[in-house]
A and B are shown apart, each in its own frame.
Chain A
Amino acid sequence: MPLDNAEQLPAAGLSRRGFLRAGAAAGGGLLVGLNFAATAAAQSAAATEGVLNIYVTVGTDGAITIVNKNPEIGQGIKTMLPMLIAEELDADWDRVTVVQADADGAKYGAQFAGGSFATPMNWMPMRQTGAAARAMLIAAAAQQWGVGAAECSTAPGKVVHAATGQELDYGALAVAAAALTAPDPATLTLKDPADFRIIGTSIPQVDTMRILTGQPIFGIDVEVPGMKYAVYEKCPVFGGTLVSADLDAAKAMPGVIDAFIVRGNNSTEGTLGGNVLEGLMDGVAIVAENWWYANRARSVLNAEWDTRGESASDAEHAAKAAEAFASGPGDVLRDDGDVDGAFEGAAKTIEAEYSYPFLSHAPLEPQNTTVAVHEDGSVEVWSPTQNPEPGRAGVALALGVDPSQITIHMIRNGGGFGRRLNNNFMTEAAVIAQRAGVPVKLVWNRQDDLRHDVYRPAGFHKFGAALDDQGNLVGFKDHFVSFGQDGRPHSSADLAPTTFPVEYVENVRYEQTLLPLNMPTGPMRAPGSNALAFVFQSFLDEVAAESGKDPLQFHLDVLGEPREVVMTPGFMGPQPGFNNARMADVLRIVAERAGWADRASLPQGTGLGIASYYCHLGYFAHVAKVTVDANGGWAVDKIWMVGDVGSQIINPTGAVNQCEGGCLDGLGQMTLGLTFENGQVVDSNFNTYALPRINKMPPVDIHFHITDNPPTGLGEPALPPVLPAVANAIFAASGRRVRSLPMSGASVASA
């Protein structure tokens, strides 16, 4: 299959040392179900399949079924994780069928789509799972032949005894293998990466043909017997409570079965924090024979809300940020060296203010969930969720049932981007189904989605930098105005005290002022980083321009001599530190690929910008080429991306696809911003929240720099450097510095 940039991927090849390091680092599979519990009890001579472990079943016909444990949101996980298993199983991929697991933490461990965690968390455990199944098939063959297992090997789909030339298809061994005791994962020998046949090859998603032929595989497509359709009308102002609604009018509308009021807890606490009923707002449910009837009946509800006088707006936030900047120091997050002394003694100082708006995830599939509350009290949920377990907790609490009574079927997500880490739609659907007494599919409309998101928070930064007479960065400060309460930033509204360049400048101070906010915030693809990369890497480019140095050289000088900075232990336990040599390498490589050294020869009005960012364990550096015309009109001509995500690109076509997506997602964020007035989001659809269309997608050159490091994830880290690379290219092309997003798509003059 022809592949963008595939020829740039080196053949899988990695030193033994690198392989072992990869294993050691990723071996923190604490959160992954490596469950080889005995499964052979029910096998009989007449069995048509052998269950080798909870992930692998081999049919007597040789067909192999592999379970995917994580939610599929378009990142390709349903293909990628089974590839890891199939590789070590030595399966013939053409005979593999992938099935989606339900949410079952006891069985599978952590099951979520977020943080680009799937690769580092599963790289070793999934391979060990496949290797364990392979070892059982080999053992079964060895028993049958009366030879030692060590004398046997495998070829795709079969066990081979080279000495005698005997072969047995996996299908012929399936039942016997399933009766054996699963091996200790520690005793397993994994493949040398040089021998990979599946890992490192481009494999289309396993559900591609079903999608191309319109099969019903998304959450919104779920149909269950007796099901009705529902909408849920909520207060447009967050935290507002329902005063009254004309339920009778709604019930009188054609096709409407019922309309009723639901009381929520009306918390605006964001994702991954606060209580599990988060986001269950007061509202009116309408249940109908067809979703369109339910949605139309909203127009006659005449709902009256108590909005508690909420009147916050973008303008108010900006004014408060300006006040905070004017009134001086915020709460100190970090204060290294002698910052004031460095600025007083500087040859040159630079100051600038930056800002960015609230953003909505806006996955194309509107939020939805189908719920059936069965007669025995059990609850069945079909949901496109990125994060099922908090949803289970929310449903349990809302319905007053035990979590063990709830089955959650994880249905393909029509895009995630972090939105479906929060499950408020799941809780709503459960409450409505219980009250309605029939299975219900709740579907939000686009206005619901844009006005009831958990938003990427806006933010304001006042930067300062001090240069010595050699143009070296000797002082750096940032006063960050964000949102939070009681000194605690809201979700994704924080500035980590380790944020670059903190370890690379002697004198650094980060301060923070938190403003109150009555809307929920949450992670959006590369949370935090998607905004911080723009402001930090743009401001550093300003400083580079003032330093008299080539911006690339300025970045390399700030990074300095190779060293590793230890990072705070995170979600996965101790993580490898930020390695500045890896970042310097991707910067040099992307500069070379983009012709950075020759940029003076570009025509007037065309410029290159460079930026880099480290997040989710991935190192990315991008160059953007932008042309600005005499009227200020701007267009991105091309983007070059170079990433270091370790020793192995597992599925190259999927990897490149994620980077292409991250590219336009970042470009879109240059011109996207929600409007927030009178305590509510004004935008209601794609007319004003104008997602980029095909003409905005520039050519992209993507290269993975393969290094001797454990493989890490790709859903997120390619995105953040896009924004500053483009902003810096606009400066190079026009002298205009983009300091405030969103900028106008039509002209740099608004920057």
Chain B
Amino acid sequence: MAFTINVNGADHTVDVDGDMPLLWVLRDELNIKGPKFGCGVSLCGACTVHLDGNAIRACVTPVSAVGDAQVTTIEAIGETEIGAKLQDAWLEEDVIQCGYCQAGQIMSAAALLANTPAPTDGGIDAAMAGNICRCATYQRIRKAIKRAAGLDTADTRG
């Protein structure tokens, strides 16, 4: 059936099964490839997008559940102040190895900073626990979040 969803400020109408996860509507119907497929069951966070500003896993969110909510993906997160700061910080800290998870990491980080402008290390651990980075760029993700938040980036845990 037809669904009209708002993605990155634009309405899109798709004719798909209502059970189809938002991830596959974005990737295969709308050609919005930033959100990534990693696990399909909300275990890795590569598909993280925002629904009205909240970080959700698009791989387990049926398109029928999106309704009127505003979907924001990595492609548009740079248009927000927090998103732009995070992208700058990710570049400054040279976070990326393979880069596959990083869209999801930034979307989770953006949701974190929107709610908690100055997160602690424990707060970062909790907010980012759902996002796997197989290359293990976690040290730099931590620093980039702190940098974007205007915090001291030194690792004080060890």
Contact = CB atoms under 8 A, between A and B. Distances in A.
Given A2-B92, A212-B91, A364-B46, A414 B98 contact: yes
Identify which of B31, B124, B133, B140 gathers the most chain A CB atoms within 10 Å of its CB. Answer: B133
B40 interface: yes
A435 to B, nearest CB: 21
Nearest to A684: B41
Interface of A: 1-4, 73-76, 202, 204-205, 207-209, 211-216, 218, 220-221, 223, 229, 254-255, 289-293, 295, 362-366, 412-417, 443, 445-446, 625, 637-638, 653-654, 657-658, 660-661, 663-665, 668, 685-687, 691-700
Identify which of A3, A73, A255, A415 gathers the most chain B CB atoms within 10 Å of its CB. Answer: A415
A214 B140 contact: no
B94 A211 contact: no
B139 interface: yes
A694 B112 CA distance: 15
B28 A290 contact: yes
Given A74-B99, A364-B133, 8 more contacts: A220-B33, A363-B98, A365-B98, A412-B98, A417-B134, A685-B41, A697-B138, A698-B157
Interface string B28-58: 1101111111111101101000000000000
Contacts of B103: 211, 214
A693 B138 CA distance: 8
Interface string B131-143: 1111111111110
Majority-rule SS of A interface residues? loop
Majority-rule SS of B interface residues? loop
Interface in B95-115: 96-103, 106
Contacts of B17: 254-255, 293
Given A214-B74, A365-B100, A660-B137, A204 B24 contact: no
B78 A415 contact: no
Contact of B137 (A229, A637, A661): A661
B10 to A, nearest CB: 15
Contacts of B37: 220, 291, 366, 443
Interface in B1-28: 16-17, 20-21, 23-24, 27-28
Contact of B98 (A4, A74, A362, A692): A74
Contacts, number: 196
Contacts of A417: 134
A366 B142 CA distance: 25
B28 A699 contact: no
A223 B38 CA distance: 18
B146 to A, nearest CB: 12
A433 to B, nearest CB: 17
Identify which of B40, B98, B135, B142 gathers the most chain A CB atoms within 10 Å of its CB. Answer: B98
A387 B129 CA distance: 33
B158 to A, nearest CB: 3
A261 B157 CA distance: 55
Contacts of A208: 90-91, 94, 96, 99
Given A214-B34, A694-B124, A292 B28 contact: yes
B140 A686 contact: no
B153 to A, nearest CB: 7
Contacts of B157: 698-699
